[in-house]
Amino acid sequence: MAAMLLAYATVPAKAQLGGVLTASPLDTIGQVGETIGDVTDTTLQPLAAARRDVRKLARDRLRRLARHVSENREAVEWDDRRQPAVRGEVLLLDPDPEALQIVGKAGYPVLERNSIAGLGVPFVRLGVPAGRSLAHAIRELRKALPGRTISADNLHFPAGRAGASVTRKRSPGALPRGGTVGVIDGGIAGSDRLAAQHGFARGAPKSSEHASAIASLLAGAGTAHIYGADVYGSDPAGGSALAIAKALGWMAQQAVPVVSISLVGPDNPLLARTIAAARKKGIVVVAAVGNDGAAAPPAYPASYPGVIAVTGVDGANRVLIEAGRAKHLDYAAPGADMSALVPGKGRIELRGTSFAAPLAASRIAARRASLPSAAKALEAVDTEAVYPSRRTGRGVVCNICRSGL
């Protein structure tokens, strides 16, 4: 039957430093506007069923965003692109006296005038006058300030989930260890590798299962030092572009060489500018492609130029069916059949590209610790990568890193 005709990407097994991949990843199973991913069970599923799965992921994403906005109306609303954002606040980049005078006359108070510390990206945060929606305010300001960069403070969401408690031994093998990784996520608890932590949202730092699991994986992968930036705290409007930008600036001030971001959201001008500034300082930014399926819009910050975009594979080295997409793809790393130690929960099962991104970051950081530049570190990681393809980028890295400490 035609829908069942699938091809295997049969490349020779290649030893990865510290471990060997034991199965070839399955090739892509079809298209729904974009590549929709690899099957995630041990049997070949019909193409029609895979298409239904991808469409369901896209619908689930829209429902999840709508529910978040509906349940947090005091703090969150839709922007002009119908993306969740901080309620009643607009960002203006590169403010000057003329622009500030115009927005003041239009009734928009300046809530904050600042520059992203350590990266020098100037912005103002404006309040939206009562009775005006965020979407209306953005359109009004763009008309009043043609050519200026104006946007909402968009929200970003974690790209993975924790599951039930499990009992699992650590994977055997050894990798070059060490290095420093910054984690922009929730609050980290229980990690002896945590060098420093800072909050960028109301109530932060506040312990997060998601972020603590990431720190556990980094420890298991051999990362020596972790810097944590909590952009969520207890704020329903946490994960905003401004919070992530400030967190990245703090990482730059701490001289963190590699930063992992397991969050996804829409394109945002302030975040794009801040990441570009970080890259100019030599910081490697690693980001997850998300778990909303290939029919979802491209994930950010993974889609920004120069960001290391990472997808996830399961224990049989198959790309996760729910893996999202970015405008480019650099690596794949474990995103399922893995576990982490989380305070108060013990060892728990993990799934999602959230957990693949920090593992790729751990490999880059370990190489960066002994090499003179980010470019040299990435070249070294490329030598570890196995099974390169359009679904795994330059290949799967850190395949034995499936158990956190």
**C-beta atoms surrounding 287 within 10 Å:** 31
What is the token pair recorded at 287?
């980001």
d(CA 180, CA 196): 11
Residues 358-400: tens digit of each pLDDT: 999 999 999 999 999 999 999 999 999 999 999 999 999 999 9
d(CA 173, CA 152): 46
- Which phi and psi angles does 326 have, rounded to 5°? -125, 175
What is the token pair recorded at 336?
């399922």
Question: Does residue 126 contact residue 103 with C-beta atoms inside 8 Å?
Answer: yes
Question: Does residue 125 contact residue 89 with C-beta atoms inside 8 Å?
Answer: yes
What pLDDT score was predicted for residue 174? Answer: 65
- Nearest of 292, 296, 395, 267 to residue 353 by alpha carbon: 292
What pLDDT score was predicted for residue 35? Answer: 27
Question: Does residue 347 contact residue 190 with C-beta atoms inside 8 Å?
Answer: no
Residues 259-274: tens digit of each pLDDT: 999 999 999 999 999 9
The reply to whether 354 belongs to the active site is yes
The continuous run of DSSP H or E covering 367 comes out as helix 356-368
pTM of the model: 0.86
Domains in the chain and their CATH numbers?
75-154 (3.30.70), 157-384 (3.40.50.200)
Strand partners, 249: none
User: pLDDT at residue 1 above 50?
Assistant: no
What pLDDT score was predicted for residue 49? Answer: 57
* Alpha-carbon distances of 126 from 40, 113, 115, rounded to whole Å: 46, 9, 14
Least confident piece of the model among 126-140, 151-165, 376-390:
151-165
Residues 296-346: tens digit of each pLDDT: 999 999 999 999 999 999 999 999 999 999 999 999 999 999 999 999 999
Name the catalytic one among 262, 303, 354, 403: 354
Name the catalytic one among 185, 292, 314, 330: 185
- pLDDT confidence band for 167 (50 / 70 / 90): low
Listed in sequence order, the residues at least 6 apart from 178 whose beta carbon sits closer than 8 Å to its beta carbon are: 222, 223, 224, 365, 366, 369, 370
**C-beta atoms surrounding 27 within 10 Å:** 17
> Residue 83 corresponds to which amino acid?
Q
**Structure letter (DSSP) for residue 4:** G
CA 193 to chain centre: 21
**C-beta atoms surrounding 115 within 10 Å:** 11
Name the catalytic one among 53, 151, 208, 210: 210
> Residue 62 corresponds to which amino acid?
L
User: pLDDT at residue 9 above 50?
Assistant: no
What is the token pair recorded at 267?
């394109």
The reply to whether 230 belongs to the active site is no
Scan for tokens 């924790």, then name that residue: 162
Question: Does residue 21 contact residue 32 with C-beta atoms inside 8 Å?
Answer: no
The reply to whether 234 belongs to the active site is no
